[in-house]
């Protein structure tokens, strides 16, 4: 009998393959017409928000998407959960292709995948009391057979996220930012999700409250076993919470790997730039100082080669001509940069 134990990777909760997203900047019929060589042409401007990103989230893990504002990480989150229709590519949730699943068949997926947004105040209906906010999804998804049972479950959930039963009768404006995010989390958990998409859930909160909310999310994840796609621009938050991560730039993934691989050995110049921008008192920082220079180029007119060319201190002629393909530098650690061409 073979007694050797082999570690199987956890099943994939989410798999995203070559996902693309575009937005059309059309102002109106006549404004969109232009004359070219004597002919009338249609002049649609297209924002290339996602340019073929691929990653997967294993069951029970926290996968982070990081990058500067405008890199496409929030668009990726909204596309994955089908708040935005993908332009191309594939989204597999627990093996089921949901990329173009009709709205009427998305009900179960919508219940299982819940989203926590950045601003807890705009996520909550100011006219509803907290008890109504949490009872609503319970009754809608028939997870409580009547109002009394829904209220009992709602109060349990509030206690689980660190609020008191008497809070249930108040309105959102009567809470602090941190408390409101706790209410949002309680509402998300009400439908017993197996996948949470958290889009910058702490960036609108005071630093002193951020750690409380992150720890709460982690405790609830361990208790309830959901997987999580975590969107953030703050690397210290990502280090605290993620198992694996992908670094995004102008709608593409430039580097991805485990937390240890990326934090101990960042390889892509953009990842290094992000790390060097994090203040540290460490005398031996992970990367040499490499201040972020320039702005993210327009996503309307994408460069032909590497999107990072104009800002990269290591740029070479080939970088301007050829888009760098992703390479696996060590098991699970992928980088898209010509510096590592074989």
Torsion of CA 101, 107, 113, 115, to 10 degrees: 100
Between 61 and 310, CB nearer to ligand SF4: 310
User: Residue 198: which of 172, 225, 226 has the closest Cα?
Assistant: 226
**Interface positions, 210-269, toward ligand SF4 (CB under 6 A):** 269
Check residue 315 for interaction with ligand SF4 (CB under 6 A): yes
**What 3-state DSSP class applies to 22?**
strand
Which residues sit opposite 97 in a β-bridge?
92
Tell me 165's DSSP state. Answer: G
**By C-beta, is 213 or 319 nearer to ligand SF4?**
319
Among 261, 312, 333, 334, binds ligand SF4 (CB under 6 A): 312
CA distances 128 to 119, 131, 137, 161, 243, Å, are 17, 8, 13, 19, 36
Interacting residue with ligand SF4 among 86, 137, 172, 324 (CB under 6 A): 324
The sheet that has 96-97: what strands, in order across it?
46-58, 12-24, 88-93, 96-97
CB of 305 to ligand SF4, least distance (A): 7
Q: Is 338 in the site for ligand SF4 (CB under 6 A)?
A: yes
Residue 275, C-beta contacts closer than 8 angstroms, at least 6 positions apart:
235, 266, 285, 286, 287
Beta pairing partners, 229: 63, 197
337 binds ligand SF4 (CB under 6 A): yes
Closer Cβ to ligand SF4, 201 or 324, answer by number:
324
Q: Between 292 and 311, how does the x/- string for binding to ligand SF4 read (CB under 6 A)?
A: --------------x-xx--
Question: Quick check: 80 and 99 in contact, CB under 8 A?
Answer: no
**Contact (Cβ atoms closer than 8 angstroms) between residue 138 and residue 144:** yes
DSSP string, 84-126: S--SEEEEEETTEE-TT--GGG-HHHHHHEEEE-S-TTTTS-T
Q: Which two tokens stand for residue 277?
A: 């921008």
Stretch near ligand SF4 under the rule CB under 6 A, chosen from 5-13, 231-239, 283-291, 313-321: 313-321
Q: Which of residues 260-279 bind ligand SF4 (CB under 6 A)?
A: 269
Task: List 55's β-bridge partners, or say none.
Answer: 16
Near ligand SF4 by CB under 6 A: residue from 314, 321, 330, 332: 314
Least separation in angstroms between residue 268's CB and ligand SF4 is 6
Torsion over CA of 126, 128, 131 and 135, rounded to 10 degrees? -120
Q: How far is the CB of 300 from ligand SF4 (least distance, A)?
A: 20
Q: Tell whether residue 319 is a contact of ligand SF4 (CB under 6 A).
A: yes
Which residue number, 28 or 294, has a Cβ lying nearer to ligand SF4?
Answer: 294
Minimum distance, C-beta of residue 290 to ligand SF4, in the bound complex (Å): 12
Judged by beta carbon, residue 138 or residue 247, the one nearer ligand SF4 is 247
Size, binding site for ligand SF4 by CB under 6 A: 13
Whose Cβ is closer to ligand SF4: residue 209's or residue 329's?
A: 329
Task: Give residues in contact with ligand SF4 (CB under 6 A).
Answer: 269, 306, 308-309, 312, 314-316, 319, 324, 337-339
């Amino acid at each position: 009998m073979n007694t050797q134990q082999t570690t199987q990777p956890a099943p994939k909760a989410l798999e995203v393959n070559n996902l693309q997203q575009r937005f059309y900047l059309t102002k109106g019929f006549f404004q969109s017409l232009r004359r070219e060589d004597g002919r009338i042409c249609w002049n649609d401007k297209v924002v290339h928000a996602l340019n073929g990103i691929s990653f997967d989230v294993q069951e029970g893990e926290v996968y982070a998407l990081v990058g500067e504002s405008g890199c496409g990480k929030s668009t990726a989150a909204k596309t994955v959960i089908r708040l935005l229709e993908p332009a191309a590519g594939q989204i597999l949730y627990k093996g089921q292709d949901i990329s173009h699943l009709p709205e009427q068949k998305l009900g179960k997926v919508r219940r299982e995948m819940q989203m926590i947004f950045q601003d807890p105040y705009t996520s909550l209906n100011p006219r509803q009391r907290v008890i109504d906010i949490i009872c609503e999804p319970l009754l809608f998804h028939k997870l409580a057979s009547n109002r009394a049972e829904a209220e009992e479950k709602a109060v349990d959930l509030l206690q689980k996220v660190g609020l008191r039963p008497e809070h249930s009768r108040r309105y959102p404006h009567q809470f602090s930012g941190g408390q409101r995010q706790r209410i949002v989390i309680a509402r998300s958990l009400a439908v017993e999700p197996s996948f949470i998409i958290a889009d910058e859930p702490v960036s609108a909160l005071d630093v002193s409250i951020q750690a409380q909310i992150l720890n709460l999310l982690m405790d609830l994840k361990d208790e309830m076993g959901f997987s999580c796609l975590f969107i953030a621009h703050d690397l210290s938050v990502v280090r605290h919470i993620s198992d694996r991560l992908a670094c995004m730039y102008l709608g593409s993934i430039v580097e991805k790997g485990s937390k240890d691989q990326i934090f101990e050995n960042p390889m892509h110049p953009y990842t290094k730039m992000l790390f060097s921008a994090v203040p540290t008192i460490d005398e031996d920082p992970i990367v040499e100082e490499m201040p972020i220079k320039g702005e993210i180029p327009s996503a309307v007119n994408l460069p032909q080669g590497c999107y990072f060319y104009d800002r990269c201190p290591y740029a070479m002629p080939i970088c301007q001509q050829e888009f760098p393909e992703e390479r696996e530098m060590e098991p699970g650690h992928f980088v898209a940069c010509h510096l590592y061409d074989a």
